[in-house]
Amino acid sequence: MHKTIIIGGGLAGSLTAIYLARRGYEVHVIEKRGDPLQDLSSYVDLVSSRAIGVSMTVRGIKAVLDAGIPRQELDECGEKIVGMAFSVGGKYRVRELTPLEDLYPLSLNRAAFQRLLNKHAYLNKVNYYFEHKCLDVDLENKSILVQDKEGETRRIQGDLIIGADGAHSAVRQSMQSAMRRFEFQQTFFRHGYKTLVLPDAQALGFRKDLLYFFGMDSGGLFAGRAATIPDGSISFAICLPFTGPLSLVTQDKKVMADFFSRYFPSLSASVRQEMLEQFIEKPSNDLINVRSSTFHYKSNALLLGDAAHATAPFLGQGMNMALEDAYIFASLLDTHKNALEKVLPEFTKQRKVQADAMQDMARANYDVLSSSNPIFFMRARYTRYMHKKLPSIYPPDMAEKLYFTSAPYDELQKIQKKQNVWYKLGRVN
């Protein structure tokens, strides 16, 4: 039995733990936060609301279901999404999405999903070490030094170390020190974001089965996204520059009041005032992009999720790719009969290509969502029409493939580029 140490018990780490435990591995998960089944306070940031809502596409759903988690239990963590609404000039243009299989994307309550994963991890005998910090990673000896909440330290030895510890991964930092020619790039988007939460989305006129996008008529000033979560509230991510008269640091209430009046005119004055007060009070969050030249170290360590390929959420794929990482890793273990010396380099080979493609598309998508383009909707309709009439010649709708299939990201990127070539007008969707 392989003993695996997973640093980071979030979504990617917990799903990976379930996959491994179901295959007979002895799994130990180190998590700096508390047990979400006992107390969710450390998993939901009530100040910045960073962890309130997230969207799960079909690729993420498949990865979760393949780990033995019942579909009904997953559905209870989210709201089904059937389309997208784009706000332009204060009016919404709704684009219905057609499922290609019997699965719809979900707008998740992230905390509820985390609890679901922990529940099934326990059922599969995963060992958690909550409120433990990772102080040191010894890649050669496959051990880590941890400290509990009382300050006591101890070293844990295993056969494999998995870094699922986010964009600032301790495992990746150890790999940078231990490996020659390890290339690492950390960049930030020009904008950051704040998350604003309003109760009772339905009363405010928002459909729970739509994702909402804002800023396409802002000339590149901002991008916004909103989604309803199962408790009925709606979460807005407002992306703005870090500096300037209208930015994340703006404290001028009149400037921000004008901003909310212009881009959210359908909301009442009292609701916009609530958004304004939250915006002034809450801290900003960075949008980070992480690229590494490799996701493994010998047969000793592996990176997955944000530790390997963190990106901004403008394609809605960061969590989904992280969940798919767990599925792909488990599949490779089956293919190579748990031979880590074969599995880990193959994981890097497969996932590095997909991560780069996903990150490139996410960055491109941000430019679309934050820039005015009067022919955007025309091109989207044109794409679907042409593929329907000439399916063997004209590429399919990339957005529908993205949301409703688990097609590889590099294939989706090729579709995107092919569409652009067809009418030479820039990006399609």
Structure token digits, residue 338: 């748990």
**Cα–Cα distance, 29 to 372 (Å, whole number):** 46
> How many beta carbons lie within 10 A of that of residue 121, not counting itself?
24
Tokens 């609530």 -> residue = 274
- At 168-182, the pLDDT tens digits run 999 999 999 999 888
Of 55-69, 349-363, 382-396, 409-423, which has the strongest mean pLDDT?
55-69
Among 126-135, 190-199, 366-375, where is mean pLDDT lowest? 366-375
- At 51-106, the pLDDT tens digits run 446 889 999 999 999 999 999 999 999 989 998 898 988 889 898 887 877 888 99
* pLDDT given for residue 90 in this prediction: 84
To the nearest whole number, what is the mean pLDDT of the chain?
87
Confidence of residue 381 (pLDDT cuts 50, 70, 90): low
Q: Which CATH class is domain 3-45+110-186+288-364?
A: alpha beta
Among 66-75, 211-220, 238-247, 291-300, where is mean pLDDT lowest? 211-220
User: 5 pairs with which residues across the strands?
Assistant: 28, 161
- At 266-316, the pLDDT tens digits run 999 999 999 999 999 999 988 888 899 999 999 999 999 999 998 877 677
* pLDDT given for residue 414 in this prediction: 82
Q: How far is CA 285 from the centre of its chain?
A: 15
* pLDDT given for residue 344 in this prediction: 98
Share of the chain above pLDDT 70, in %: 86
- At 321-356, the pLDDT tens digits run 999 999 999 999 999 999 999 999 999 999 999 999
Q: Which residue has the higher pLDDT, 138 or 50?
A: 138
Nearest CA to 308 out of 330, 325, 292, 285 is that of: 292
* pLDDT given for residue 382 in this prediction: 59
Confidence of residue 140 (pLDDT cuts 50, 70, 90): very high
425: pLDDT strictly greater than 60: no
Average pLDDT over every residue of 25-46: 86
**Cα–Cα distance, 182 to 173 (Å, whole number):** 10
Among 193-202, 218-227, 269-278, 366-375, where is mean pLDDT lowest? 366-375
Of 2-11, 83-92, 105-114, which has the strongest mean pLDDT?
2-11
> How many beta carbons lie within 10 A of that of residue 96, not counting itself?
9
**Cα–Cα distance, 217 to 88 (Å, whole number):** 6
Tokens 């407002």 -> residue = 238
* pLDDT given for residue 426 in this prediction: 40
Which regions of the chain carry the CATH code 3.50.50.60? 3-45+110-186+288-364
Amino acid identity, residue 22? R
Nearest CA to 286 out of 31, 50, 118 is that of: 50
Confidence of residue 379 (pLDDT cuts 50, 70, 90): low
* pLDDT given for residue 17 in this prediction: 98
Residue 242 neighbours by CB under 8 Å, 6+ apart: 190, 191, 192, 248, 249, 284
